[in-house]
Amino acid sequence: MLKHLFRTIILFFIPAALFAQVSNYITGVELTDAREGLDLTVKVNLTNINEISDITLAYRVFGTSEFIREDMDLAGGLARVTIPAEKIKVPSLEYYFIIDTRNNGEEYYPIDAMNQNFLRVQVQPKSEKDDEIIVLNPDPGSPMSIDEALVTISLLKASDEVDKSKTKIFINGNDISSSMMLAEDLIIIAGDNLSSSLKKGGLNSMRVELYKADGSGYHAYSAGFEVTDQAGGRVAGTSLEYFLNVRAESRNENVRDYSSWYNNISIDGKATYGAFDMDALVYATSE
């Protein structure tokens, strides 16, 4: 009786194991917030990387039949690509991955993508109020360095209805508004409270909430960005690598009872293209 029951249990669980089969190469997929008018970065976590030669993202926007293919940049156990803003349309985007292996094999993710089983992300419509929040740093197209973590946001275009002092900022769901420094129209956040909220080596989310003077909500804006050990990146399909260092300062000076705010920002960078190097320095000030 027990022997018969044991055989029954084995037969029952084998089909479940087959249906739970996962990719041999992809362990996870991350995306920045999918919003109309913004770039969408797709990052894939990989395993068995020595067997992989190339990874391609295939995607199509709602209402189209053809998939657009984009080669992904491979770096260690990660593959990433950014879909340009003009390709992001409401209400959704479908996508899948093609993995080429070094033994001339090919695998899809999801594994049954050829049976029309694609991944899908909902695209949020663009609001006119989005333009009132200008994110200076982090730049969605450039990874942020964990060692020089900095958030700078301009509310220069914000409506007169907005009480800028009530602004709330969330990183990965953590409220870091207490670390916010407001200098007229410029918001600056740095320090341990920001660094401890970041996910190194992954995609991060930022949410900015604006409020009216009476405390009622005015608008909320979300964006995604990447955090790495070094600020910079590589331009897809080329040997161009670039690294950036961004610093911002805001100070108040009182001279004979006259108070003035001064805002400064500097960006220094280096680019390498094959055997060629280029250094650059940009400095802007309100003084």
pTM for the predicted model, two decimal places: 0.64
Short-list 197, 198, 201, CA closest to 229: 201
Q: Do 243 and 160 sit in the same domain of this protein?
A: yes
Short-list 101, 192, 208, CA closest to 155: 208
CB 95 within 8 A of CB 121: yes
CATH code of the domain covering residue 115? 2.60.40.1930
- In the listed set 104, 122, 140, which residue is the last one of a domain according to the structure? 122
Task: Answer yes or no: is 223 within a domain.
Answer: yes
Which pLDDT does position 144 carry in this prediction? 84
Contact partners, residue 128, CB within 8 Å, separation at least 6: none
Which pLDDT does position 142 carry in this prediction? 74
The structural domain count of the chain equals 2
Q: Do 77 and 141 sit in the same domain of this protein?
A: no
* Positions of the chain with pLDDT under 50: 2-21, 231, 236-237, 239, 274-275
Task: Answer yes or no: is 13 within a domain.
Answer: no
For residue range 75-133, list pLDDT tens digits in order: 888 999 999 999 999 999 999 999 999 999 999 999 999 999 999 999 999 999 999 99
- In the listed set 89, 122, 155, which residue is the last one of a domain according to the structure? 122
Which pLDDT does position 17 carry in this prediction? 35
Contact partners, residue 76, CB within 8 Å, separation at least 6: 49
Residue 143 domain boundaries: 132-285
Conformational region of residue 140, where left means phi above 0, alpha means psi within -120 to 50, and beta covers everything else: alpha
CA 47/CA 162 separation, integer angstroms: 47
Q: Do 76 and 185 sit in the same domain of this protein?
A: no
Task: Answer yes or no: is 201 within a domain.
Answer: yes
Rg of the chain over all Cα atoms, to the nearest angstrom:
24
CA 281/CA 267 separation, integer angstroms: 6
Task: Answer yes or no: is 246 within a domain.
Answer: yes
Q: Do 172 and 278 sit in the same domain of this protein?
A: yes
Task: Answer yes or no: is 41 within a domain.
Answer: yes
